[in-house]
Structure 1
Amino acid sequence: MTDISTQEPRTTADKAARAITEVGAPWVLNIVASLIIGVAVGAPGWGVFVAIFGGVVPMVFILVGMRRAKISDHHVTRINERHMLIASLLVVTGGALVVQIVAGAPIEMIAFLASGLAALAVAAVITSIFHWKVSGHAGASAAIAVVLALSVSPWWYLALALTPVIGWSRIHLGDHTKSQVVAGAIAGAIAAGLTYIAIV
């Protein structure tokens, strides 16, 4: 598979894939979904809180890693660079979840962050134990669509149609195989969905 993720886009398909990959990045989707759920449950402040820990903080970690030459690109395409990042995010997200519980955040916001933590934990197991780089983009897309459908409206299940599109972009850019995209989407949707249902 040809890796064009670090090259300048050459064709219309390359440009489209690059744009979709950026817009469909986990940190972007997490921020948008957090704000949507926060407004939907009447707790926009908690939506901002989750957006910070689910989207802003992960990207800050990645940028710091890039600055220190520990991470090569902002999508963390090299599997050996993912282990420490995922471990750090699990700790930070877990801490944010504790804050939510202690401070009495709405159950929907707690469940949303917990579902993201569960999906991340599954990705961590697959990455660290099986040394296989499942797609975080596909996982986040599927997970968020399912949780939005459960928490806001069943109409959000239609957003699952975006997962194959985002998955295509990751495959086209040479960052993942089809199997890694499919596995990421399934793992994310199941882990997040079951966690949300169990809590709410």
Structure 2
Amino acid sequence: MRLTVFGATGGIGGQIVKQALAAGHRVTAVVRDPARFRVTGERLEVVRSGLDDPQALREAVAGQDAVLSGLGPRRRSDAGVAARLTRSVLAAMEAEGTRRLLVVSAAPLGSAPEREPLRDRAMMSVVGAVLKPVYDDLRVMERELAHSAADWTAVRPPRLLDRPVTGRYRVAVGGNPRSARVIGRADVAHAMLAMTDDPAMLRQGVGVAY
């Protein structure tokens, strides 16, 4: 497949690029600072662009089979960035007729499974309260997706870890896996790539966790 990756210098975005290249895909990595991007490959094109350049964004997504974004807030002070950046990507995709989009959201936006242990419900509530501005931003982002014409998937991981890819994790379409506590960034990337051509994941929020 021909894939465009936004946020390619981040933990999840960088893993998407590496794993996609290893799987034989052609990848366009969109970065603001190429000096920070260390990945190389014959099937890799690196595009320098900020997300405030509509023409550059259109060129980056034109003719692609899917767009995968690791963009999003990393701290409370980043609240607002996910919705704004996703809006820019959606506009570029709509202009070019590119439909498939996968983004990173967060587990607190998903519904709790039946018989979720009280401890896990309480933990999710505390995290949601502490990082409320971040999750409010992601809720706006998901509303933007829902109102768009894109074939989107919002992948909702819990707390992220730096671990090697395992390919072993649980997936819950429309909610969260039971006792969803952690997952590695590399496995979030693995899950996003696996969902790219899965019709069951279209226009869905999907929980992923170990």
Q: TM-score range by the shorter chain?
A: 0.3 to 0.5
Q: Structure 2-normalised TM-score? A: 0.31
More helix by share: 1
Larger RCO: Structure 1 or Structure 2 (Cα < 8 Å, ≥ 6 residues apart)?
1
